[in-house]
Chains A and B, each alone.
Chain A
Amino acid sequence: MHDNVIDRNKDITILEVLDRVLNKGVILTGDVVISVADVDLVYLGVKLMLSSVETMERLKSGQAIGVDGVKG
């Protein structure tokens, strides 16, 4: 029913998942998170966030890109 608006494209869904789990949700403050969520993890989160919107647009325009090919 009304499938024309609900998007089941796997790559777009994965980007949406990553955007949420890396950038949203309850935040824990304090040194524990900062010290363990080190540069690589934070960088990964920012990199994915920067690419997520543009990658979605490329996917919708039909340009092929694999899930592992998300580039910042």
Chain B
Amino acid sequence: MEKITYSLLSVKNKPERLHALLAGMKGIAGTDLYELSFDEITVVVSNVSRACLIAGQSTALEYAGVIETLSQHFTLLPMRFGSLMESNEAIIHMLEKNHPDIEQNLLKVENKYEFGLKVFCDSGKLMAEIRVKSEADGKTPAKPDVKIKNSVSRDWLNKKLIEHRLEELLVTYVDSVIAEITGQLDRLKAISKIKKMVTPTTIIDAVFLLDKALKDELIHTVSDLQNKYPGLNFIMTGPWPPYNFVDFTVK
């Protein structure tokens, strides 16, 4: 049997509250949950067999469900699914060895939510709009003046030059949308991690960490952004436990 760890959390002066909560919950495959602590850091654990861990998607969702319930009551750092240890003693040793990092990360996420934001576009439509605008602005002439006599080569090169220029303009456009988003979020003092152009239609994939009290303001802000960019599709999810804002590896 292995020990699967669900999350690292701070119970401060309320360990009995965690104990009562765990008594009413189950871990993956219906296993009992228990806690182990070092100083004020606690880890939630259950005993599992290897067979449970490769049961598939439903097991991962059960695991996430435990973390979600705990996060509604405590500040926590979610563990990645499959975080196993050999014994309770090894777990305590891990807490002791990593105490400063764990404590620092718990402080960072205290009273904060994570939200996800993906921005989708109709890539064909967006590129067509960029092309029309760029031709109107004179940034991409309909027929670039490439001085090659061979018409086939010239046409091919023209096409490639226009495509390259339009891709540059798309990146510029996406950067402007990101700048708008981050400008708005600076007001909310949100920590953000943003990836752009993840796929041709997912132009922005972002996560934010901000004070719980500012949740409604964030939703309002993103709604306003959606109204400002009606051709894009803003999809928010959350609140989440701070999966994307845990910045250390447990030794």
In contact, B80 and A57 (Cβ under 8 angstroms): no
Q: A68's closest neighbor in chain B, by CB? A: B57
Q: For chain A residues 37-58, which have a beta carbon within 8 Å of chain B?
A: 37-38, 40-41, 44-45, 48, 53-54, 56-57
- A-B pair count, CB < 8 Å, reads 139
Which stretch, B130-138, B155-163, B181-189, B217-225, touches the partner chain A? B217-225
* Total interface residues in chain A, CB < 8 Å: 41
Q: Is A60 positioned at the interface, with any CB of B under 8 Å from its CB?
A: yes
In contact, B80 and A21 (Cβ under 8 angstroms): yes
CA distance A13 to B239 in the complex (A): 11
The minimal Cβ–Cβ distance linking B91 to chain A, given in whole angstroms, is: 10
The minimal Cβ–Cβ distance linking A69 to chain B, given in whole angstroms, is: 11
Q: Is B246 positioned at the interface, with any CB of A under 8 Å from its CB?
A: yes
Residues of B within 8 A of A38 (CB): 50, 54
CA distance A30 to B61 in the complex (A): 24
* Total interface residues in chain B, CB < 8 Å: 52
The minimal Cβ–Cβ distance linking A18 to chain B, given in whole angstroms, is: 6
Contact mask for chain B residues 146-167; partner A; CB cutoff 8 A; 1 contact, 0 none: 0000000000000000000000
In contact, A21 and B233 (Cβ under 8 angstroms): no
In contact, A16 and B198 (Cβ under 8 angstroms): no
In contact, B219 and A13 (Cβ under 8 angstroms): no
The minimal Cβ–Cβ distance linking A6 to chain B, given in whole angstroms, is: 5
Q: Is B110 positioned at the interface, with any CB of A under 8 Å from its CB?
A: no
In contact, A28 and B234 (Cβ under 8 angstroms): no
Q: Is A64 positioned at the interface, with any CB of B under 8 Å from its CB?
A: no
In contact, B78 and A7 (Cβ under 8 angstroms): no
Chain B residues within CB distance 8 Å of chain A:
2, 5, 8, 50, 53-54, 56-57, 60-61, 63-64, 67, 77-86, 94, 116, 118, 120, 198-199, 201-202, 205, 216, 219-220, 222-223, 226, 233-238, 240, 243-244, 246, 248-251
Chain A residues within CB distance 8 Å of chain B:
1-2, 4-7, 12-14, 16-18, 20-30, 32-33, 36-38, 40-41, 44-45, 48, 53-54, 56-57, 60, 67-68, 70
Q: Give me 10 A-to-B residue pairs in the complex whose CB atoms sit less than 8 angstroms apart, sorted by A's number.
A: A5-B223, A6-B236, A16-B116, A17-B60, A21-B63, A21-B67, A30-B251, A41-B53, A54-B199, A67-B57
